[in-house]
Amino acid sequence: MTIEYPSSLWKDYELVDCGGGEKLERYGPYLMARPEPKALWDKSLPESKWNSMIHVRFRPGAGFGKAGKEDSGTWERLRGMEDQWQIVYNGTPDAETRAASDLHIALRLGLTSFKHVGVFPEQAPNWEYIFRETSRLRRIHQANGLPAPRVLNLFAYTGGASLAAKAAGADVTHLDSVRQVVTWARDNMERSGLDGVRWVVEDALKFARREAKRGNLYQGIILDPPAYGHGPDGEKWKLDELLFDLLKTVDRILEPRNSFLVLNLYSNGYSAMLGETLVRQAFRPDGNAMLESGELALKDQYGKVLPLSIFVRLRR
């Protein structure tokens, strides 16, 4: 198991401090404080210093701590800032050749009513993996006269992973059950100078089952399911009850050779080993497959490590 962090070369994001159930982050020019239940230790900076630095703080609402409503609340503005602003992510240079990466993503951020701002920065290592794997598959397809590799991003949110695959030359299908979020992702695509992503507003499990019936295959599939959620027609999603069924369905639409899977899980009760076991049982990878799992984390200026999600990656 490995622990992966965003590159220190990413200048538009920084975890400044964390503790006391909060995290202090910088996104571009703005600093904000948000609840973080996993920050169980003390803050390194005094509260007065936090208050002197931040532009905005998220105050939890009545639903805080309730399943499906734990992120509700309001933003308290302490200093002037834009309602919406943009940050940029540039891929890390090649470790061997030092050549610059072709991965360039522009992301519009904004203050939502659910403490989110439009990006989960700890996902940057997944973006890098998706970009590398898609680039590898594109070279294989080009050498064999095949069309661009097809990548499906389920629960795709504002599209960081979709844009990483698109920047690497994939034929990308981006799916989310919330139309406004899909519109947000389309804006990010245009800001990134990319085009041609297929947008789908749909329940992820329904879509995957339909694709399996049609016999459609993808060379890359990305899953980042929430613990709870609803489809566009009111379908209920509960991770514990539906995840394994979804993974078995995804196995039917993932190309058996020259393909990859990325599974990301935020649920507090899930470990990397549990995620890896789920993938092993759903996909039954053979000896030629590569399977890795670990945690995605952020590290603040004082060296405190904040683990935020687990990942499982399958390459075959």
Candidates 168, 31, 29, 14; CA nearest to 85 is 29
Q: What distance in Å separates the CA atoms of residue 314 and residue 316, rounded to the nearest whole number?
A: 7
Tokens of 298: 């952020």
The answer to whether the CB of 97 falls within 8 A of the CB of 72 is no
Q: Give strand ranges (E) for the chain.
A: 2-4, 13-19, 22-27, 30-35, 56-60, 73-77, 84-90, 104-110, 150-154, 171-176, 198-201, 220-223, 228-230, 236-238, 260-265, 290-299, 305-315
- Write down the pLDDT at residue 153: 98
Rounded Cα gap, residues 297 and 131, in angstroms: 19
Structural domain count of the chain: 1
d(CA 136, CA 130): 10
CA atoms 174, 177, 179, 181: torsion sign: negative
Distance CA 8, CA 171 (A): 30
Query: How many residues are listed for the chain in this entry?
Result: 316
With tokens 């992820």, the residue in question is 204
What whole-number distance in Å separates Cα of residue 29 and Cα of residue 34? 16
Residues 6+ apart with CB under 8 A from 173: 150, 151, 152, 153, 197, 198, 200, 218
Dihedral sign from CA coordinates of 201, 188, 152, 285: negative
Tell if the pTM clears 0.85, that is, is over it. Answer: yes
Domain that holds residue 103: 2-315
Q: For residue 254, give the DSSP letter.
A: B
Residue-wise pLDDT tens digits, 184-224: 999 999 999 999 999 999 999 999 999 999 999 999 999 99
pLDDT of residue 97: 58
pLDDT under 50: residue ranges of the chain: none
Q: How far apart are CA 244 and CA 176, in angstroms?
A: 19
What CATH number is attached to the domain comprising 305?
Answer: 3.40.50.150
Burial (CB count <10 Å: 0-12, 13-18, 19+), residue 234: exposed
